[in-house]
Structure 1
C-alpha cells in the first residue's frame, strides 16, 4: 500500500489514527502485510494485550476501542504497523478486506531503554 493511501485511511478517524497519521507524515516507517486475518482471533489477542498493558501501566491509544471494533467485525482484516520516527510509539492498523477502509487503529508506547 502506498503511503498516500494509508494517509487517506487514517484521515478523519479517531485520536489513535490521528496520532498514527501525524507520525506517518513525520516520516515514520510502515508496513501493510499481505493477506488477511479473521477479526475474532485478533480481538482475543488484543484483549490480552490490553490487560497486559493495564497491568504494566503502559500508555496506549485506542486499544480498548480497537478490541471492541475487532470483536464486532464479522470479516477478515488486513494488518499494518507504523513505527514512529523517534521509536516511542508503535501503531497497529486494521483495514477491512471488503471495502478497504480503516476499521481500527491503536498505539502502544514502547519501553525506552
Structure 2
C-alpha cells in the first residue's frame, strides 16, 4: 500500500491513529500483508495480547478499542504494520479486505524503549 493512501486512512481522531500518523510523517516503515483473516479470530488474539500487556505493564495505545472494534466487525480484515523510525513503537493496522477503510489500529511500545510517540 502506498504511503499517501495509508496517511488518508489514518484520519481517525483516536490516539493510536494520531501516533501512527505521526510515526509515518517521521519516516516510519510500513507494510500491508496479503490475505485476510476473520475479525473475530483476531479479536481473540488481541484480547490475549491486551491481558498480557496489562500484566507486564507494557504501554499500548488503542488496544482495548481495537479489540472492541474487531469484535463488532463481521468481515475479514487485512493486517498491516507501521514501525516507528526510532523503533520505539509498532502499530498494527486492521483494514477492510479491500484496504478501502481502517477498522482499527493499535500501538505497542517496544520492550525496553523509553520515549513515547510525539503526538502533537
Same fold (TM over 0.5): yes
The farther-off stretch of 93-102 and 8-17 is: 93-102
What secondary structure is seen at the aligned counterpart in 2 of 1:81?
strand
Deviation at 1:112, TM superposition (A): 2.0
Runs of 4+ more than 2 Å apart: none
- Write out aligned runs for 1:18-97 (5 A): 18-97=18-97
User: May I ask how many residue pairs the two structures share in their alignment?
Assistant: 113
- Output one character per residue of 1:9-62: Cα deviation in whole Å (capped at 9) or x when no partner: 002331101100100111100100011111011000000000000000000000
SS where residue 68 of structure 1 aligns? helix
Matched, 1:10 2:48: no
Note the residue ranges of structure 2 that are not aligned, 5 or more in a row: 114-120
Which stretches in structure 1 are left out of the alignment for 5+ residues? none
1: CA distance between counterparts of 2:21 and 2:78? 18
Q: TM-score, normalised by structure 1?
A: 0.95
Distance 1:45 1:72 in 2: 15
